[in-house]
Amino acid sequence: MRLSTATVTGAAVAAAWSLPSIASHVPSVASLLDIPLRIDAAQAVAITFDDGPHPEGTPAVLAALADAGAVATFFVVGEQVRRYPSLVAEAAAAGHQIELHGDTHRAHVRLSPRAVSEDLRRGHAAIAQATGREPQVHRPPYGIYSGASLGITRRANYRLLLWSRWGHDWSNRQTPQTICSEVTEQLASGDVLLLHDADHYSNKDSWKATAAALPAVLARIEALGLKTVGV
């Protein structure tokens, strides 16, 4: 069977659009795309939280961080920032870093180039209005860029960052113990830890196990002689 020129062209465009959508956080793929999974830091790690702010999860996480004197980076979603701007302002005032996860939590491969640009613009504006500071770092929903969105985000002058350790804490199957064990396994200086302070886009109440795990995670970091820093 012969395919028409239009069919072949359409397939080529689709392939080019989705090429980097193969889990960008996989080390080999991230390396190919030149997307960092780690930070350059001496005797320090970065704890990051995605998907917030959340009216219960974010305050619980902030309290645990304050108790330990730790700092974190929150990759927030614009639509949630507009719902809970005071929580983002509170996190920023406490010395935590606020960066961009998107305006909505939609996979880039499902968005047109124009929609990606608009998503960045709206999310950026929401953070700037809530905190008085413009975000500099971007992490896409699900850790996946499309072929076009990777270029769009870079041309918008964002620094990209994924993660090197995660607790799979979006799942209700996880417990505080398993989250801590997974996210701190073979922990080393420069690691970027991924956790979630919200359940807007995951299993309901999953943030509770994250908040319960956080004191043990922070204790483990301290026991290894590491400190927490922003990204």
Element at 227 (helix H, strand E)? strand 227-228
Give the residue from 183, 189, 135, 138 showing the smallest Cα distance to 159.
138
Element at 74 (helix H, strand E)? strand 73-77
Helices 206-223, 176-183: crossing angle, 10 deg rounding: 50
Amino acid at 55: P
**Candidates 54, 105, 108, 196; catalytic one:** 196
Cis peptide before 53 (omega within 30 of 0): yes
**Candidates 50, 51, 103, 169; catalytic one:** 50
Active site residue 124: no
CA 119 to CA 141: how far, in whole Å?
12
Active site residue 200: no
Give the residue from 167, 106, 130, 131 showing the smallest Cα distance to 120.
106
Report helix, strand and coil shares of the chain as percent, to nearest 5.
Answer: 50, 15, 40
Give the residue from 210, 194, 196 showing the smallest Cα distance to 45.
194
Give the residue from 120, 194, 110 showing the smallest Cα distance to 151.
120
Catalytic positions: 50, 196
